[in-house]
Every structure is written in C-alpha cells, then in structure tokens.
C-alpha cells in the first residue's frame, strides 16, 4: 500500500524524477526536515478537520435531543450497553448514526468550499 509518507520518502531519494532528466537541470530532493514538516502538516490537517466535524456532530445532537435518543438506542440495540471491544463490523451496523454524521457534515463542513 502506498501512502503519503511513502511518497515523501521516495521523493527524498529521487525516485519520481523524470527519466529524461539531464545533468544540466538541478535535482530538487526533499530533505529529512521537509519530510518531517510535511508529515506534521498531514497529521494536523487530519486532526483539525476530524475534531471540528466531531464538535459539530455533538452540537447538532445537543440541539436535537430526539435524534440523540434515537442514535443512542441504535447503539445500545446493535452494539450493546456493556463494555465490549468496538470493531469495524459492529460500528458499520450503525446506519442511523452514520446518517446523523453525514447530515452534520452537510450543514457544517469542516473545510468550507
């Protein structure tokens, strides 16, 4: 699997340079500091948008307690009230909660266009 960090590391090694790259052209390779800063930007950008989205979902649920109750009942019915390990399979059963999240993202996009 290729991810952003993998591409950054390959760019630091010059693996993505044009094959017709002549000796007269200057090679621009990423330094270790540039790779670290790019990784930080990816991390912070992902964290900020996720935290903003979760804050707006919480805000919407507070404004609409009937929807909050329905989402809670879905969680209890499909996953249970006990402390169990959450897995992708049991989280993917929460269809109504997913609709709630999508609607709050529609109303309050974390990255406005």
For the entire predicted model, the pTM comes to: 0.63
What pLDDT is recorded for position 24? 42
* Domain residue ranges in the chain: 47-107
User: What does the alpha-carbon distance between residue 47 and residue 85 come to, in Å, rounded to a whole number?
Assistant: 23
CA distances from 101 to 2, 15, 50, 68, 106 (A): 28, 40, 11, 11, 9
Q: What is the pLDDT of residue 113?
A: 64
pLDDT, position 33: 86
Positions of the chain with pLDDT under 70: 1, 16-28, 112-113
What pLDDT sits at residue 75? 93
Residue 69 has what pLDDT?
Answer: 97
């Amino acid at each position: 699997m290729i991810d952003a960090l993998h591409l950054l590391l390959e760019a630091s090694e010059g693996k993505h340079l044009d094959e017709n790259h002549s000796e007269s052209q200057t090679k621009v390779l990423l330094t270790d500091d540039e790779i670290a800063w790019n990784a930080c930007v990816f991390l912070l950008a992902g964290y900020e948008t996720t935290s903003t989205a979760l804050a707006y979902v919480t805000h919407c649920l507070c404004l609409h307690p009937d929807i909050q109750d329905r989402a809670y009942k879905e969680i209890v019915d499909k996953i249970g009230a006990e402390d169990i390990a959450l897995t992708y399979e049991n989280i993917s059963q929460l269809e109504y909660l997913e609709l709630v999240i999508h609607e709050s993202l529609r109303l309050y996009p974390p990255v406005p266009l």
